A and B are shown apart, each in its own frame.
Chain A
């Protein structure tokens, strides 16, 4: 028995020595290398960041960024083939699905804030947006206080619904908050007059209004529930090796001319499926951030220069 134990220890020592020479892969990188696959979480209707086109295929600004991250991972892990699996997520399932390993990267319109950083990590910011509300022009709702006592929709699991809930309590507005499962449903509530307004990130509202049957009937409020907050692609916490690769990939993309082209493709040109052009030029703060990529959750840290 003693001989067996000594042999066992010797074998272990040999193996350990062998491993120490090879790269010590941990966490998500290890998983990707072993399985040869990475799973990306996409959204149904976060136009133009991550949404389904007419063939039910996920496309969008964030999806393209994620594919670039996948290319970088392929190079880093020296893989010939890296299979990309796609998994739908909603605003309320994205964080639990990331934490329980169903997805490795969440590519959509997720706001980076200190609260979420307790559960997940974010890579460099890819957009800045503030929370506003959209309503029909005929309702004549201009400010947040005009929403007093009315029915207002928002998507569950978003920072938007949280900000709406907090504003409702703080300003004592008595709003009847209707949670919807996805952004398309939130906007549909206003279209069908179930809610007088819906509260979402202003870029998403702009996309929905532009793509609706009657864009002129709607108006997006100038009043905002928050300062412009950063969107980031989500990944698991406590995985520094993976984050390093992702951060490097996104930084390289944003700083290059390709990053600018990608932005123009989704915000300044016609996008599928209906060919609408959002015509949203890059804001000064975002331009500055692309030059100096940052993954900070603090809205105040994003200045125009």
Chain B
């Protein structure tokens, strides 16, 4: 095989002066985690709201929720990121567009918002499934007790729905982490991007990608374990709350 292996490359200094190649990869890892967390917060916030909207009796709310979910689910994430990053600044008034383009960390914010909204559609679907899987009696009992719709959702329905959908939400969070890698196309140099940069500067293709693979696997293990603890902590005794 005509390939020149060099596993010591990780301890050699990177040309961007910030340390070794390993430091480069680790800074990418940090950026991946930061972007994923921001995106996840946006996804949860918007997704929960839209999911609830879809379960309301009002036709308008239901339709809005449906349109929202269909819009974000039927376009590839990459195309959505391009729309936010390339198209939005051009269709806004020139001064706003220019300001958007000159923000120092534009790829980070665009990626967080883009990935967040993309995932929010999926979180909305999970929330809807969770709420719909509750016995009908819950909502009826809440209304009978005199709670308004908002109070019913806040104190009765949503707490149980979230516990039920915690396992699928875990896999959605992992999806979010993986989806941040798509942002290398808009210039966000997160873990996959740093691995690529390392490959370009040092020509050690396989070493760079192996390191990135190992780091992603580590993230996975950490997240799955943490979520398992969370599930156990939040479990309501006597209820089936996943595995």
Contact = CB atoms under 8 A, between A and B. Distances in A.
Interface of A: 92, 95-96, 99, 116, 118-119, 151, 156-157, 162, 165-166, 168-170, 176, 178-181, 192-194, 236-238
Interface of B: 2-4, 15-18, 90, 98, 101-102, 104, 106, 185, 187, 189, 196-197, 199-201, 203, 205
A166 B15 contact: yes
B2 A238 contact: yes
Contacts of B187: 178-180
B18 to A, nearest CB: 7
Contacts, number: 52
A116 B197 CA distance: 15
Contacts of A193: 98, 101-102
19 contacts: A92-B196, A92-B199, A92-B200, A96-B199, A96-B203, A96-B205, A99-B2, A116-B203, A119-B4, A151-B102, A156-B196, A165-B17, A166-B15, A166-B16, A166-B17, A169-B17, A170-B17, A180-B187, A192-B90
A38 B179 CA distance: 38
Given A169-B17, A237-B2, A156 B101 contact: no
A178 B186 CA distance: 9
B15 A179 contact: no
B16 A165 contact: yes
A28 to B, nearest CB: 11
B104 A176 contact: yes
Given A168-B16, A179-B197, A194-B101, A99 B189 contact: no
A179 B189 contact: yes
A78 B18 CA distance: 54
A92 B204 CA distance: 12
Contacts of A179: 187, 189, 197
A197 to B, nearest CB: 14
Given A179-B189, A179-B197, A119 B203 contact: yes
Query: Top 8 nearest A-B pairs by Cβ distance?
Result: A169-B17, A157-B200, A165-B16, A119-B203, A92-B200, A194-B101, A165-B15, A178-B187
Contacts of A119: 4, 203
Contacts of B199: 92, 96
A156 B200 CA distance: 7
Contacts of A96: 199, 203, 205
B207 to A, nearest CB: 13
A107 to B, nearest CB: 20
B185 to A, nearest CB: 8
Contacts of B200: 92, 156-157
Contact of A236 (B2, B15, B106, B205): B2
Contacts of B203: 95-96, 116, 118-119
A295 to B, nearest CB: 19
Given A92-B196, A237-B2, A162 B17 contact: no
Contacts of B102: 151, 193
Nearest to B184: A179
Contacts of B106: 194
B3 A169 contact: no
Contacts of A118: 4, 203
Contact of B201 (A162, A180, A238): A162
B98 A162 contact: no
A151 B15 CA distance: 18
